[in-house]
Amino acid sequence: MPADPLVKGLLAGDRMALAKLITQVESGAPLASDALRVIYPHTGRAIVVGFAGPLGVGKSSLISRLVTFLRKKDLKVGIVAVDPSSPFSGGAVLGDRVRLDLHPGDKGVFVRSMATRGQSGGLSQGTRDTVRLMEAFGMDVVIVETVGSGQTDVNIRDVATSRVVVLVPHLGDDVQSLKAGLFEIADIFAVNKSDLPGSSDAVRHLREMASIMSSRANWKPDVVECSALNGTGLDELWSKIERHEAFVRQDEDARAESKERLAKELRELVSRKFEVRLSSMMSEDSKVRELVERVQEGEVDPYTGSELILGRFPTRRESPRRR
Ligand SMILES: Nc1nc2c(ncn2[C@@H]2O[C@H](COP(=O)(O)OP(=O)(O)OP(=O)(O)O)[C@@H](O)[C@H]2O)c(=O)[nH]1
Ligand SMILES: [Mg+2]
């Protein structure tokens, strides 16, 4: 039995415990690491779907519709909305964006927004962990919404097994420049706002592109036409997602990709932990502080200085406490 009451609560389906653990994870609290370790065996069973795409194409609207659809199937759904936060304003953007605080009172839905502010990648580090917390909580499906712009898009590969790229009719030339990147990440294209003119042309065009540009040997992106406004195309979208999930489970390349993802995560975790130790060493170790000053005074060159600092890290056999 887990000792942490929050973890116990989470596994028993306590929403407050889930909310608190996500906050811990987001703030990088040391406790979170222990909690994540304990819940890890309870993860990996949910369908994790990423929704990416340019600003305002209707990702949130589509997700709301999909959630309604999934709730009718009695599936529990967690949603992580990764907010684009402008480095200039440091705040949320866009007046008419649909907020994802849907289904109030429905215990089978949990929505959480995360800011990307201060993160170098588009998807904040905490997103992956938040997805796991939601899985351990018992969500059958976890949906991650992220706004599409280059790197942000690409990082959705790190968390989701099925990626939906949302587009709209008449993206015009913009989409040409986006396309190469989008084809790298899209398992499924959803052409939303099919209530607007030009939708079937866009679908046809994307299907042609999909057969040419798909970078993967065994999977050509599906293209689905839908309208969040009218609520059409949702069942088709979901069946494509399920089809892709089934594909991922049996395809060698997809399995290799998921192994690669874990190796990458491991590497990132180590480098993050290393960064934390380095920071505390830089501020707490008087020898290191002295060395920094000597570099600043020009008595030691930075190359030698960095080697000397590295040399102060405990070697493998030593316990970190005996530094
Ligand atoms: N005509 C039409 N409008 C839609 C449809 N889906 C969404 N919209 C509108 O498009 C606008 C943007 O919708 P959102 O769901 O916020 O789009 P988003 O992609 O989540 O936006 P960001 O998160 O800001 O990138 C809103 O005004 C929606 O009402 C649709 O199917 N048809
Ligand atoms: Mg949105």
Residue 126 CA to residue 140 CA, distance in Å, equals 20
For ligand 1, what atom is nearest to the CA of residue 192?
31
- Tens-place pLDDT, residues 126-150: 888 999 999 999 999 999 998 755 4
Q: Is 196 in the pocket of ligand 1 (CB under 6 A)?
A: yes
Beta bridge partners of 80: 112, 144
Ligand 1 pocket mutation, candidates 64, 67, 97, 114, criterion most atoms within 8 A of CB:
97
Q: How far is the CA of 49 from the centre of ligand 2 (A)?
A: 15
309 shares its domain with 231: no
- Locate 167 and state its tokens: 């587009």
Q: How far is the CA of 62 from the centre of ligand 2 (A)?
A: 9
Q: Is 99 in the pocket of ligand 1 (CB under 6 A)?
A: no
Higher pLDDT, 119 or 216: 216
For ligand 1, what atom is nearest to the CA of residue 230?
31
67 shares its domain with 140: yes
Residue 194 CA to residue 169 CA, distance in Å, equals 7
Q: Is 113 in the pocket of ligand 1 (CB under 6 A)?
A: no
Instruction: For residue 229, give the ligand nearest its CA.
Output: 1
Q: How far is the CA of 181 from the centre of ligand 2 (A)?
A: 20
Q: Which domain holds residue 24?
A: 1-42
- Tens-place pLDDT, residues 82-98: 865 544 433 344 444 55
Q: How far is the CA of 182 from the centre of ligand 1 (A)?
A: 19
Higher pLDDT, 28 or 296: 296
- 200 inside domain: yes
DSSP calls for 124-186: -HHHHHHHHHHHHHT-SEEEEEE--STHHHHHGGGT-SEEEEEE-TT-THHHHHHHHHHHHH-
User: 3-state DSSP call for residue 111?
Assistant: strand
Determine which residue's CA is closest to atom 21 belonging to ligand 1. 56
**The domain boundary residue, chosen from 214, 231, 250:** 250
- Tens-place pLDDT, residues 153-168: 447 878 899 999 999 9
- Tens-place pLDDT, residues 55-88: 888 999 999 999 999 999 999 999 998 865 544 4
Q: Is 192 in the pocket of ligand 1 (CB under 6 A)?
A: yes
Q: Tell me, what CATH number does 52's domain have?
A: 3.40.50.300
**Is 282's pLDDT higher than 50?**
yes
- 255 inside domain: no
82 shares its domain with 37: no
**The domain boundary residue, chosen from 250, 272, 307:** 250
Cβ pair 284, 312 in contact under 8 A: no
Looking at residue 67, what is its pLDDT? 94
Residue 257 CA to residue 135 CA, distance in Å, equals 21
Instruction: For residue 52, give the ligand nearest its CA.
Output: 1
Q: How far is the CA of 222 from the centre of ligand 2 (A)?
A: 22
Query: Structurally, how many domains does the chain consist of?
Result: 3
2 shares its domain with 70: no
Would you mind telling me the total number of residues written for the chain in this entry?
Answer: 323
**Is 99's pLDDT higher than 90?**
no
Cβ neighbors of 218 (< 8 A, separation 6 or more) are: 247, 251, 253, 254
- Locate 294 and state its tokens: 């000597």
Q: How far is the CA of 61 from the centre of ligand 1 (A)?
A: 6
85 shares its domain with 106: yes
Instruction: For residue 230, give the ligand nearest its CA.
Output: 1
Residue 224 CA to residue 209 CA, distance in Å, equals 14
In this prediction, residue 53 has a pLDDT band, given cuts at 50, 70 and 90, of confident
For 139, 269, 290, the CA distances from 320, given in Å and listed in that order, are: 38, 17, 21
